[in-house]
Chains A and B, each alone.
Chain A
Amino acid sequence: MQQGRGVERRTVLKAAGASLAVTGLGATATACGGGSGSGDGTVTIRYAWWGAEDRARRINKTIDLFEKKYPKIRVKTDFQPYTDFWKKFNTQASGGNPPDVFQNAIGFLRKYDAKNVLLDLKEQVKAGNLRMEGFRAGLDTFGEIDGKLLGVPVGSNSMALVIDKPVYARAGVTPETGWTWDDFDEAMARVRDRTGRAGDSGMYGVMYLYDLYLRQNGKAFFTEDGLGFTEADLTRWWTKAEKGVRSGLFADPKKVAQIKPKSALSAELAGSEFTWDNFTVRYTSEGRSEYGLAPIPTTDGKRTGQYLGSLMLSASRRTQHPVEVAKFIDFMVHDPEVAKIMGYDRGVPATTAQYEAYRPTDAVNKAIAAYEESLVQAGVLEPITPHPNGADICEAAFLRIGEELGLGKRSVPDAVEQFFNESKTALSS
């Protein structure tokens, strides 16, 4: 019996040992993740961004270049699609472990500044590790908030009306610079009547477009700490939208929801869509038609209210290696070779050096460049208005409630009230 007990204990222990070995293996195989400095002075920084595999391949190449130039700095990348990126970033930031440097956008600057996540890069600029000269069209001040430099633009984009060219041609509509909202409404009706396709995919939920409309009328979506428009303004905007959906000027929101993540434009549900000009890259890869960029309709025939939007690189305040991070950002925004690799993937390059270094050869990117140049020539670009802490939540709420309105789940007054309630909570936190 004694013997029996021994055997039994051994078997159990063996099983337990095997299980420990499995966990142990997991730990050792990956133990290199935590430390960021090593004996020979090599420093490792973490770089996170959102995007898909195509961007990943490009970024990996630029990092090879960077590591060749700075052999003492290693860069580890991490990436997810947009929404997952922010989920992960939020958890990491709350857990005190954000990446050293990461892709960022204007709507998040104040939010993460309020949470003490972002590093003020001004000191690194003073120390000469990061050059803020040579930016196009005033982009150098885009990441500045309350005198702090919280983000450095890597590329710029503008809102545009992306159109399905053959559909617009069949409808006989040619949008011209300075066309008005009345012209736009007429165009929508013509597209619907002559091609049997809805004119637009659902502009009423696009926060950035409503922002432009408000700016054309001397207002803006956001002020320093709140909303820059009244409930009456929004009621007018959404009443018009509801009519548009009912009369088929805008694509059936049910169908638009069904074909997600594909866009309504490339799925041939609508003839055009208001969005950022670089989205044409994706639309061309998912749709069969040819897509072009048309100007934003105006209120007075002149002002479009447009400004350059931009992707930025930000550093985290907790980084152990601010100098290396600054050098990394500097390299990524100024080096001409980087521009040749990245192309217009993150927008038209922010610095003149990079802008000159890459000239697109394909039709889609050429059109983006031409569009951005036409904006500069027309002189319609204005300075950007602030995005307060909570702006990202307001943007998401605007889109969601706009969709619910389109689907008929909410009436206009109900939708307006809901949006103001949600944004008040978001902006006061």
Chain B
Amino acid sequence: MTAQATDITRTPSAKGALRRRLPGSLAWHLGALTLLAVILYPVVWVVGGSFKASEDIVGSLDLFPADPIVSNYTSLADGIADIPVSTFFFNSLFLAVGSVIGILISCSLTAYAFARIRFAGRNLLFTLMIGTLLLPYHVLLIPQYVLFRNLDMINTYTPLLLGKYLATEAFFVFLMVQFMRNLPRELDEAARLDGCGHLRIYWSIVLPLCRPALITSAIFTFINAWNDFMGPLIYLNEPGKYTVSLGLKMFVDQEGLANYGGMIAMSLVALLPVLAFFLAFQRYLIDGMATSGLKG
């Protein structure tokens, strides 16, 4: 195959090396391709399944439908339970984007304080914040629900967003603190000599340098918010306010008609925004790893 084409450009000794490497390289690529096929199989199955009739989907291992139909997708246009599908997407997008903005602002501000400002009780507060990571979600569920109910915020998006604007996501604060601690203090000091206060150092020096950490946090926040099920389930009481993750659950119940086709078609459509967001930002992510690697 390609060995012949490369023959022309290679020197005889390189040719020999190539010949010796070829079987290993072939085996390596074959192995990798097989592994890829195994990993991609479920995805392809879902894509194929979305063109099958409902009764042919679950329990069938066939990748592609015998006679493909598009009614699973076209039926989405009629909405789910009298609600247009776009409503769910808009709601999810609103929550996901709102969460990303909140996390970026609140967590980076908090992280700056922990990383750069000396104040009484800093270590204790930092430890406490890390401690909140150990609290299981289910312990907080009912107390939080009662709190938001007393604030009359049930059936609004506030309970799902408020925490994100108050830096309660300790993991992202921690991530950013660690990143900021690695930034050279000399930069801060130079800025201070030029007359900058904390806000200016935060905004003009630290934040731009933190871009990789910010982008990592943004990607994870977006995906988490998009996939969140328990939060919207508990706090939202009207199907019109539901997110995609709740909408997906409306297709099948133990009683009544089961619409697996609609469910699979919608889950594929629901994947697209997450995929788009990831693709748009992943090169910055790799970028960030490369630059931080150089610094180390």
Contacts and interface: CB of A to CB of B under 8 A. Distances in A.
Interface in B234-284: 234, 237-239, 241, 246, 249-260, 262
B55 interface: yes
Nearest to A264: B59
B256 A30 contact: no
B145 interface: yes
Interface residues of A, number: 66
27 contacts: A8-B197, A11-B203, A12-B202, A22-B102, A23-B165, A26-B98, A27-B153, A27-B157, A27-B158, A29-B157, A30-B156, A30-B157, A31-B156, A33-B154, A33-B155, A33-B237, A51-B255, A52-B252, A53-B251, A54-B257, A81-B254, A88-B233, A92-B234, A95-B145, A267-B58, A279-B254, A279-B255
Contacts of A11: 203
Interface string B49-85: 0000011101100000000000000000000111000
B152 interface: yes
Contacts of B251: 52-53
A278 B200 CA distance: 67
B81 A12 contact: no
Interface string A140-174: 00000000000000000000000000000000000
Interface in B80-137: 80-82, 94, 97-98, 101-102, 105-106
B290 interface: no
Contacts of B54: 285-286
A87 B97 CA distance: 27
B200 A5 contact: yes
Interface in A259-285: 259, 261-262, 266-268, 276, 278-279, 281-282, 285
Contact of A285 (B82, B156, B257): B257
A80 B195 contact: no
B249 A81 contact: yes
A107 interface: no
Nearest to B60: A267
Contacts of B106: 19
A18 interface: yes
B105 A16 contact: yes
B123 to A, nearest CB: 26
Contact of A23 (B98, B197, B250): B98
Given A52-B252, A282-B258, A34 B233 contact: no
Contact of B238 (A4, A56, A78, A286): A78
Contacts of A278: 255
B241 A286 contact: no
Nearest to A286: B258
3 closest Cβ pairs, A-B complex: A33-B155, A56-B81, A26-B157
Interface in A1-37: 1, 4-5, 8-9, 11-12, 15-16, 18-20, 22-23, 26-27, 29-31, 33-34
B25 interface: no
A60 interface: yes
Contacts of A76: 237-238
Contacts, number: 189
Given A18-B101, A282-B255, A345-B256, A95 B149 contact: yes
Given A12-B199, A27-B158, A34-B155, A52 B253 contact: yes
A312 B230 CA distance: 26
Contacts of B202: 12
A9 B201 CA distance: 11
B162 to A, nearest CB: 6
Contacts of B56: 288
A8 B204 contact: yes
B59 A259 contact: yes
- Chain B CB within 10 Å, residue with most, of A9, A92, A95, A287: A95
Contacts of B33: none
A373 interface: no
A88 B101 CA distance: 28
A71 interface: no
Contact of B156 (A27, A81, A266): A27
B256 A282 contact: yes
B32 interface: no
A15 B59 CA distance: 51
Contacts of B160: 26
Contacts of B59: 259, 262, 267-268
Given A1-B195, A82-B254, A286-B260, A22 B161 contact: yes
A248 to B, nearest CB: 19
B37 to A, nearest CB: 21
Given A5-B200, A30-B158, A278-B255, 4 more contacts: A52-B256, A81-B253, A276-B255, A285-B258
Given A91-B141, A267-B59, A286-B55, A51 B165 contact: no
Name which of B252, B255, B260, B262 has the most chain A CB atoms within 10 A of its CB: B255
B286 interface: no
A271 to B, nearest CB: 16
